[in-house]
Amino acid sequence: MRAFQTLYIYLTLALAAVSVANASLVDDILDAIKNAATCTTCHALFVPLKALAVLGDKPFTKTFVAVCKAVKGLSLTTTSATVQLECRLPSLPMTSGTSTHSDKAATKLCDALLGLCQAPDVNAYKVPFPKAAPTAVTPVVAGRNPPFQVVHFSDVHIDREYTVGADATCTKPVCCRKYADQAGKPVQTPAKPNGMRNCDTPPALTQNLLNSIGANNKFSIFTGDIVEAAVWLVTQDEVTKDIDLFTREMTSIPQVKVYPALGNHESAPTNAFTRNTTTKTNMQWVFDAVSKGWQPSIGASAAQQAAKLSGSYALKVPNSNLKIISLNTVYWYKTNFWLYDSDNQQPDPNGIIEFAVRELQAAEDAGERVWIIGHMPPNRGDTLHDQSNYFDQVVNRYKATIAGQFYGHSHQDQFAISYSDYKKRVAQNAVSVAWIAPAITPRSNNPGYKIYDVDPDTYEIMDAKIYRADIDAPNFHTTPKWDLTYSARALYSPMVTPAHPATTPLNPAFWHRVTEAFEKNQTAFDVYQSLRMGGGQGVNPIVCADDQCKKDTICDIRALSVDNSCTKTSPGLSFRRRADGIEVDGAEPGATGCESVGISHVFHELVGKKDAIDFDELRAEIEAIVTEAEREAATQ
């Protein structure tokens, strides 16, 4: 009897101790959430989260889901499945078992997830090169032969669930779908056949695009993002089918030769590309899917590279001296949370930079010119500073070989410049320019693409012509028409000093002088800002309200290495409702790109909406989660 009493007392005390420990952990979590307003307090948040992670993936994920659901009106909280998919991503770094979260790792996460820290200083690393740069390079003269044309399109975001007649006015990031919670409700703005504002691309518009870009063009480049932006619903099966369908559509039109790059939406969950050192899971299914789908366009050898090299590949364009190197830049993406699953600093996740160096060196040895294509430009605020800096080292080393860089992701018509000396950003130091294409999706802009006039000897760009389809035009929903918006040479050449010769490519020095024109001429700057979004009804133009905004914008153009940009991280970015007639905010005023509907926006918004949390209700839910986890652990 006495033994039984002793055991009873022991168990009672043990349960009480667990209860106290659980209460303390819950208190710590809630206090950390309440106080998360600065970089320092964000760091403090990782202490209880790491303790929670010890209980396992399931309770950790459930707690994040509970926090998401507790914020009334928070983005992407339309259903339980929504929150479950979106809010489990930040648990990856905590539950990996290999991350203790050093100061730098925590700072990077606080920057990416909550916007409460500025990106830390770049980890010093010198990219190794197999050879030193040649001491003398014999320049090839451009302008002696007629140019050929290349189409650059990006961010198609095809919505296979697009439904004609569904509502284009909704409270979700992507409308024009038959959502269950809209059944039986009156339709405010019926979706039309070829696309609507607030909606991703219907298949009909995609087919029209492919039919329109084939004529008189040598080839096309596609810089990623096939899958629609309903990120809370995507599955591996859907992504695989979307990749297969679009690649078959591209190859079904004989005159359309397309060289693609991989986007951050070509995964499930979105952005989640595992490193090759990750043991929990892998993304080989994505690389196998694109390898199979791209093979008719890029050939067997490049397709094998794509399967083995995380979606990256290189090829020689037939009957030319041009090599295309396609890079998976999602391994440099802040909101790819698999990049934080270990404290071991990897300067080159999955060897993307090493692959670029190897192919560039081979091109230099062979006397070839190179185009770099990728989805995410390395100057974006959502790019990790380390990898952007390291890749810029590569650009500077092979500046005589690289004829151009081509990206998408921002959904805007933009350019950015790399320099040999960022402390002295002048035309003489400009070494490379990135051409950034607008998006095909009409979600926030008029659909658009670029056609480049390419010099056949240097493979530099002689002109860039931007074509857009006005979705408000009377004929858009019968026969969309892609009209010339402007010619870069015709528009910008008169602005620069000294005058730019007609036979000289639109080279990095030219684009630097364009930014000098922006500094001196407000009208020139305003024209550039208006063209970024493409105009049209329902499109919010990007307007700088003060001189500092203008200075920062020009500074960012002059920072293809993002660690030299002027844009700072800010917390509490709002995700304003479509029903209010207001577009989704992005990382900068007017941004509506790939980052505007993902998990980072959910948590950025959480910072600004903590007052809307019922902490008593949240406490009860987290206590139940922790208690259940402890009970399950005790029975194992």
Report d(CA 500, CA 481) in Å as an integer. 32
Task: Give yes or no for residue 147 having a pLDDT over 90.
Answer: yes
- From CA 145, how far away is CA 134, in angstroms rounded? 27
Strands (E) located in 242-390? 258-260, 313-316, 322-327, 369-374
Helix, strand, coil percent content, the chain, rounded in steps of 5: 45, 10, 45
What does residue 153 show for φ and ψ, rounded to 5 degrees?
A: -130, 160
Q: Which residues pair with 498 in a beta bridge?
A: none
CB 228 within 8 A of CB 157: yes
Residue type, 123: N
List CB contacts of 555: < 8 A, sequence separation 6 or more: 565, 566
pLDDT computed for residue 86 by the predictor? 57
CATH code reported for the domain at 148-161+200-564: 3.60.21.10
Q: Could you give the CA distance from residue 63 to residue 625 in angstroms, rounded to a whole number?
A: 7
pLDDT, tens digit, 9 for 90 and up, residues 497-542: 999 999 999 999 999 999 999 999 999 999 999 999 886 655 667 7
What is the number of residues in the chain? 636
Cβ-in-10-Å burial (0-12, 13-18, 19+) of 144 comes to exposed
- pLDDT tens digits along 16-38: 444 445 678 888 888 888 888 88
Residue 555 confidence (pLDDT): 96
What pLDDT is attached to residue 61? Answer: 78
Residues 6+ apart with CB under 8 A from 392: 378, 418, 560, 561
> Tokens at residue 48, please?
């209880």
Q: What is the pLDDT, as a whole number, of residue 538? A: 55
Q: Which residues contact 538 (CB under 8 A, 6 or more apart)?
A: 197, 581
Each domain of the chain, given as residue ranges in start order, spans 2-121+609-635, 148-161+200-564, 163-191
Cβ(466)–Cβ(448) below 8 Å:
yes
pLDDT category of residue 585 using cuts at 50, 70 and 90 = very low
H or E stretch covering 221: strand 219-222
pLDDT at 477: 94
Q: For 590, left (φ over 0), alpha (ψ -120 to 50), or beta? A: left
pLDDT for position 337: 84
pLDDT of residue 425: 98
471 has pLDDT over 80: yes
pLDDT for 166 equals 97
- Judged against a pLDDT cut of 90, whether residue 207 lies above it is answered with yes
The tokens for 472 are: 């408000």
Longest dimension (CA), the chain: 103
- Which residue, chain included where needed, has tokens 């004609």? 164
The DSSP string of 134-170 is PS---PPPPSSS--EEEEEE----B-TT--TTSBS--
Q: Which pLDDT belongs to residue 615? A: 87
Q: Per the omega criterion (within 30 degrees of 0), is the bond before 269 cis? A: yes
Q: Name the pairing type of β-strands 402-407 and 369-374.
A: parallel
Q: Count each helix (H run) and each strand (E run) in the chain, helices first.
A: 18, 12
The Cα 229–Cα 270 span in angstroms is 9
Give the span between the Cα atoms of 550 and 543, in whole angstroms. 9
The tally of CA atoms less than 13 A away on the side-chain side of residue 553 is 24
* pLDDT classification of 140: cutoffs 50, 70, 90: confident
CA torsion 606-608-610-612 (nearest 10°) is: -100
**Closest listed residue to residue 508, CA positions, set 612, 404, 606, 597:** 404
Whether the per-residue pLDDT at 584 is higher than 60: the answer is no
Burial zone of 331 (CB within 10 Å; 0-12 exposed, 13-18 middle, 19+ buried): buried
Identify the pLDDT of residue 173. Answer: 84
* Range from 117-126, 203-212, 600-609 carrying the lowest mean pLDDT: 600-609
Secondary structure letter of residue 297 according to DSSP: H
Is residue 340's pLDDT more than 90? no
Do residues 594 and 227 make contact, with C-beta atoms less than 8 angstroms apart?
A: no
Q: Lay out the sheet containing 461-469: strands in order across.
A: 258-260, 219-222, 148-153, 448-454, 461-469, 482-487
Q: How far is CA 185 from CA 53, 169, 180, 188, 256, in A?
A: 42, 12, 10, 9, 42
Q: In the predicted model, is pLDDT for residue 339 greater than 60?
A: yes
Angle of helix 508-520 versus helix 547-557 axis, rounded to 10: 180
Q: Sheet containing 313-316: give its strands across.
A: 313-316, 322-327, 369-374, 402-407, 430-436, 414-419
pLDDT over 70 (residue 271): yes
| Omega prior to 541 cis, within 30 of 0 | no
pLDDT tens digits, one per residue of 397-450: 999 999 999 999 999 999 999 999 999 999 999 999 999 999 999 998 999 999
Question: What burial class does residue 142 get, using C-beta atoms within 10 Å of its C-beta: 0-12 exposed, 13-18 middle, 19+ buried?
Answer: buried
What whole-number percentage of the chain has pLDDT above 90? 57
What pLDDT does 453 receive? 98
Task: Name the token pair of 173.
Answer: 């990031």
CB 286 within 8 A of CB 267: yes
Q: How far apart are CA 588 and CA 598, in angstroms?
A: 15
